[in-house]
Every structure is written in structure tokens, then in C-alpha cells.
Chain A
Amino acid sequence: MQAFLDTFLGDAAGLERQLGYLAGMAVFGSVVVFGFVLPFAGIVTWAERRIWARIQSRVGPNRVGPFGFLQWLADGVKNILKEDLIPTVADRPLFRFAPYVVMVGFIAAFVCVPFSSDLIIADLNIGILYVTAVTSLVVVGILMAGWSSNNRWSLLGGIRAATQIISYEIPASLSIFPAVLLSGTLSMQGIIGAQGAAPWQWHMFHSPFTLLGFGLFFTAALAEGNRTPFDLAEAESELVAGFATEYSGMRSTLFFMAEWGNLYVIGALVTTLYMGGWQLPQFTYNPVLMNLAQAGVFMGKSFACVFFMIWLRATLPRVRVDQLMAMCWKYMVPLAMLSVFGTATLMVALPNGSHTLRMATFAVVVGVVIRFAFKVRFHLKRARELDYSSLSSGASQGLSS
């Protein structure tokens, strides 16, 4: 990056050179953010709406672009054009600033997302720690939004979000440690490097303890990302729209962009920590081809996680706030401790790991997945047998296809 900028800066020196670097980074950063990060959030919204619609026997957005793919762009343009209302009783500076804090928390996490062995903005040696730190920024923004709106529903939403995110930070961080212990590094590339391409070489299947860690991390990340069944902060049936009640136009879009973008970040973190990241057998020595294939694998895995989260959202009701806290402190924190200490004990007892244990864990998971798949197939078959086409003359005709 620096070398690239040097070609433009020529022989400028001192402060001018530094300013040049700064400007270059700003341009590069905004290109990355607008060309790369925000589309992620947009694509996730589109995917969510389409998948959700299929699950709910609806069509979903299908007008803008092929399969409605450009709907997110159209919505974005619409929201930019909307009036940006600020309530007179709101705390103006805080109110206007809050969405940016939330956005920063989400965009900064992308710095450490390893898309392939070379495609990573910065492979920090404290990578995973950095990601957990910056994603916590979101809670500050949400709390600011909830407080500054001067609306009781917003306040309740903000407080709920703060308690929830701060509490779930603990099991989430704890359940990162099994993967970190196994890899011996905090760097994202290091963690991926410690895993193999084959599924049973993933950290997830190292032992039952890491499997537990994987489950806990996924659940806690859902709660941190304010996703169903933990979407209490903006529970529309209880708190109108929670902390975002008073926001309109682009500012409210920023909140939701951060929320959906976080969905992808969660998927990417789970993929990195427990699902082998971009690992792929070395099938070619062409670095470009290899990197593209790795990026494809990484995207595939992380979008599979995103799909799973969308599926959960379409299926589950929401828990209550006291149940949420009880779940965190009574079950998830102790289990996360168990996962960490179990993994550590196992690593001392079997320094090279146990292949049998690995394969056994893998077999159990595969068995559960196959059983679940059969169950899904059974229900899908039964749903088809319900035969909607012959029933109705009107609205539900299109469902048979």
C-alpha cells in the first residue's frame, strides 16, 4: 500500500508525505467500504428477504434485477432520499452521531476477515481479539441512539441491547479460546493455518469440547448480533422498533446495514475459528487461481452460516429478557468455561490430539446432520402432499411451482 502511494507522491517529504499517505488511505478505505463491505450488508438483506419469503410461502422481492437481486440497492437509494428527521427533544449531537459509531464497529471488523491466504486487509497478530473489541463498539452506538432519542421505547431498547451484548460478550469471548488454544495464536490466518481442508481437520471436530465451543460461540454471536431468537433490542411487537424507533431515512438504514453486515461478520468468524476458513488442498500453483478458489470456499462456508441464521430467524420465536440473561449466566458461561478447560486438559493429556476422538466427534455430527436432513425431507414431502393448487382459486395458486 505504502509502496503504491510512493509512486504518486514522488519526492514530497515530511508532513506532506504523511498527509499524502492519509489521503491515499482515506480514498482506498472508502473504495473498500463502499465497493466491498456495504454490498455485503446489502446482499445479506436480499438473501434474507428471499429465503425468508420462500420459508413463509411468499415470493419476496422479485422486481428489481434478476430475482430481485438489486432490491437492496433500490432500497438504499430510497432511504438516502428520505427526510432525515430529528426529534426536537432529542439530544442532537448524540442522535446524529450514534449510527456512525455502530457502522464503525461493523466496518472495522472487516479489516481482519481472511477471505483467502492473501486476501486480508491486515493480518494482525491479535486478530481475533481486535475483532471482538471493535464489534463491541456497536453497543456504544446503540446505547447512544437509545438514550439520545428521548423516547422511552428507544431507551428500553438501548438498555436491553447494552445488557444483552455486554453479557453475551463473555460466553462469546470464552468460546473463542478453544480455537485459540489449539492454534496457539490469535492471528486469523494463524488460526486457519492450524486447521486442515478436510472437515474432520477443523477445530470444530477436535473434541467434544471444541464442538461445544462452536455451538456456544454461534449462539452467543447470534445474541451479540441482535438476531432472533435474541432480537430483543428491536423487538417490533414489544418495543415498536427499539433503539431505532425515532430514526428515519439513511440513519436508520445505517443501523440495519450494520445489523445485517454483522450477520456476515458472525458467519466469517465462525468459519475462521471452527470451520477451517479458506482451507483447500493445494490443487494448483497459480496464486491467483488458488486465492480465488480459497475465497470461494470461505464465502461458501460463511454464507452457509448466514443462511442458517436466516433460517433460525424464520423459525424461532423470541425469548424474554429475563430468560435471555438466565441463559447467558446460568448455562452459557459455565459451559464455555467447561469448553475452555476441557480443551486445555485434553491438550495436556494428548499433546498431538487424538485422531479417534476427532473422527468420533465428526461421525456424531454427521449422524445428527443426516438425521436432521431426513426430518426436513419428511416435512418437505408432507408439505408438498398438502396440494395447495387444487384448493384455492385465488392467491395461493402460485405456491405449487
Chain B
Amino acid sequence: MSVELEVHNSQGLPTEEMTLNMGPQHPSTHGVLRFIVKADGEVMRRAIPDIGYLHRSIEKIAEKVGWHGFMPYTDRVDYVAAMACNQGWAMAAEQLADIEVPRRGEYCRVIAAELSRICSHLLGVGAMGMDMGAITPFTHAIRERDMIMDLIEELCGARLTFNYMRIGGVAWDLPHGFVEKVSHYLDHLEPVIEEFNQLLGFNRIYVKRLADVATVDADMAIAWGLVGPNLRGSGVDFDVRRDLPYSVYEDFDFDVPLGSGEMGSIGDSWDRYIVRMREMVESIRILRQALAGIPEGPVIARVARNFKPPVGDVHVKIEAPRGEQSWYVSSDGSEYPHRVHIRTGSFTAMGIIDRLSHGLMIADLVAVIASMDIVAPEVDR
């Protein structure tokens, strides 16, 4: 791994490459990421990601705790957006056992997942601002996020690891007055997103820092397996919610925002930022429709406590905030899953950073990590 290259400067004098150890404890590596940075002064030659600092054997745990018991562990796959992971696991188990979720349950899931998505994106763009040196946007984003947390707390009693969904539906129906509260909040959030863009997104310094930095074109994004907002930032028009609809997403009318190279080239860091901002607006649209159209009825189907799905494999894709999340679950007919594999967005985003980092400045590495919205627990699981 450590290849010491001898570098010669313009006068032909040999200079040494500097190896910087960025992380695992570093202010801008969200969580415990580690990069081994080979730098020539301020210019990076390489940034080699070193993963595994947050590995918790979640996939292996699934084989020991059983189908229902695994639900709280899915919260920890990506604790910034736990609802999506809840949903992925629930959907995988339901597909194996062929369980039909009541429509009200599906709506509850969509409402919870979209709230969670806004929550996650707010944290992502806020932290991105902070990594760029602007601290006020972060506090503003956290302020808005806190209110979503309050709403979700009313829904399921937890603020971070929700454990809201169950195989067959959701654990609790919406609390009294929840629909009004959420719509009131959404009315409030829309101008705030616009304000946030004025404060940070279209700030000249911010744009200059991000435009044309770490550009990923469409082919490269597909080749490296980028997903979600990172893929759409490169202009690839793909969203699991629209193209491979699951749950009740067919019922809703929403657009898929794409990076268009407004400030630089298509697929630069700024495009990834703006895609997240616009996705929040789309999430608000989905939430409004879901709140208006939520049917009456039960929220959970009858599922045996001793849940034993038939033998078989299933592959479920959902659109998590950090991109397409694939759950590959294999059942041998017993009360424990035979094998669970989760493919997450941050993992591949982590992989491309080495390739992108050649010739960037050290400050740009921070921008790239932030714009990819990498969350360390999701990388390792």
C-alpha cells in the first residue's frame, strides 16, 4: 500500500512525498473514516480509504437473532436514516413470505421514510457546509432536523434508532393530530430550504469551492457503482422509487432532480449538493400527497410470532437517502435467515474517492467526502 514515490520539483531537486494520516479521528471524516493521504505539499497524489473502523457484524448478527429480532439492528446500518433500513429489511422478509402489507401501513412507511430522508439530507448538506468552513448553515440545518426528530419521536418514541417498522407493516399507527403537524411543518420547511440555498448553496465562495471539483461523469458513475444522489448528480436519471417502484410510490407524482452542471461541469461536487437540496423539495411533495391520501385501515398484517418464511432468496432494492440500498436475503425455511447481505451507497462512494483524489488539494478531499455524503457506519455495517 505504501509506495513511496520520489517526486522531482521543477528545478529537478528531489522532494519527498508526505504521508498524512487523515482519521480515524479527524473533524471532517464523518464518523470514523480513515484516509491515508499521499500529498505533495497541498496537492494530493492519492487518498487511500481505509475502512473497517465501524464494522459491527450486522449481517452476521442477522443469522443469529431471527427475523423479527433483527429489526432493531437495521437501525444501526445507517443510523442517520434508519427508516430506510427498517423498510429494506421488512420488505425482504415480506417478499420471502409473500405477505401483503395493509395500505395504511405502506403509507405510514412512506411518510416515515420520507421524513427520515429529509432529516438525513439536512444533516448531509449541513455538515457539507461545515466542512467548507461555514458553521451557521449547519446549525440551521440541525434546527430544522430537530423538529423532524420531534415529529418522529411522536411517531415511534425514538429520535435516532427508530425501530418503527415491522415485518408486515409498522409498529404504531400515526398518533393523533400527526397529519396536521407534519403538513404544518412542511409549510414551514419549504421556505427554509430556499433560504438555506441562499445562505450556502449559491454563495460565491461555496460554489467556487465545489464547482468542477471531483467531477464524476455518467459513465464513470455507473462503472464505479455510485447510487442515489451521487449517481443523479452525474446526470444519470435513475431513482428506485420511480423506476422500480416499491411500496406505494406509484401513487405519487414526483420529479427526480438531476445534476445539470449549472455551476461547472455535470457531476461535480456542487451538483451532488444541489441534487440533495432538490430531493428534499420532492420529498415534501411526496409527503404532502401521502398525508392527503392516507387510507383508513389496519397498519400491520397478521404475521406469526414464530416467523418462518419458505426456502428461497430475495433481492430487494429501496431508495435510501444515501442511494439504492440492496438487501439480499436467503432463507432456509428456519426461524433464522440463512444469509443477509446489505449493499449500501456509502461503500461504493468510498471506493471512488481514491480515483477522484489524484491532483486535488487536501481541502478538496473534505469537499468530496462531504459531497458524497458518506456515513461511516453505512460503509462498514
Contact = CB atoms under 8 A, between A and B. Distances in A.
Given A152-B18, A231-B133, A236-B27, A56 B140 contact: yes
Given A57-B140, A153-B20, A317 B188 contact: no
A399 B144 CA distance: 12
Interface residues of A, number: 43
B203 A317 contact: yes
26 contacts: A52-B135, A55-B136, A56-B136, A58-B139, A152-B18, A156-B20, A232-B363, A237-B130, A237-B133, A237-B366, A316-B133, A317-B129, A317-B132, A317-B133, A317-B206, A318-B133, A319-B208, A320-B208, A321-B361, A321-B363, A323-B208, A382-B191, A386-B192, A393-B150, A395-B146, A395-B150
Interface in B154-199: 184-185, 188, 191-192, 195, 199
Interface string B106-140: 00000000000000000000000111111110011
A56 B143 CA distance: 9
B147 A240 contact: no
Give chain B's interface secondary structure class: helix
A356 interface: no
Contacts of A236: 27
A369 to B, nearest CB: 20
A282 interface: no
What are the 8 A-B residue pairs with the smallest beta carbon separation, nearest first? A318-B133, A56-B139, A317-B134, A237-B28, A317-B132, A237-B131, A317-B133, A392-B147
Interface string A372-391: 00000001001100110011
Contact of B363 (A152, A228, A235, A383): A235
A123 to B, nearest CB: 39
- Select the residue from A52, A237, A379 with max chain B CB neighbours within 10 A: A237
B147 A317 contact: no
B209 A317 contact: yes
B107 to A, nearest CB: 23
A295 to B, nearest CB: 33
A156 B27 contact: no
Interface in A312-338: 314-323
Interface in B190-220: 191-192, 195, 199-200, 203, 205-206, 208-209
Interface string A279-321: 0000000000000000000000000000000000011111111
B42 A240 contact: no
A238 B134 CA distance: 13
A317 B28 contact: no
B28 A238 contact: yes
B324 interface: no
Interface of A: 52, 55-58, 152-153, 156, 159-160, 228-229, 231-232, 235-240, 314-323, 379, 382-383, 386-387, 390-396, 399
Given A56-B139, A156-B362, A391-B185, 17 more contacts: A57-B139, A58-B139, A156-B20, A228-B133, A235-B363, A236-B27, A240-B26, A315-B136, A316-B134, A316-B205, A317-B132, A317-B200, A319-B208, A320-B361, A392-B146, A395-B146, A396-B147
B364 interface: yes
Contact of A238 (B129, B188, B366): B366
Contacts of A240: 26-27
A55 B354 CA distance: 37
B133 to A, nearest CB: 3
- Select the residue from A231, A314, A315 with max chain B CB neighbours within 10 A: A315
A184 to B, nearest CB: 38
A355 B200 CA distance: 41
A240 B24 CA distance: 12
Contacts of A229: 133, 205
A151 to B, nearest CB: 10
Contacts of A160: 42
A394 B20 contact: no
Contacts of B205: 229, 316-319
A317 B201 CA distance: 10
Contacts of A319: 205, 208-209
A399 B192 CA distance: 15
A322 B143 contact: no
A238 B146 CA distance: 27
Contacts of A390: 184
Interface in B1-48: 18, 20, 26-28, 41-42
B363 A320 contact: yes
Contacts of A395: 146, 150
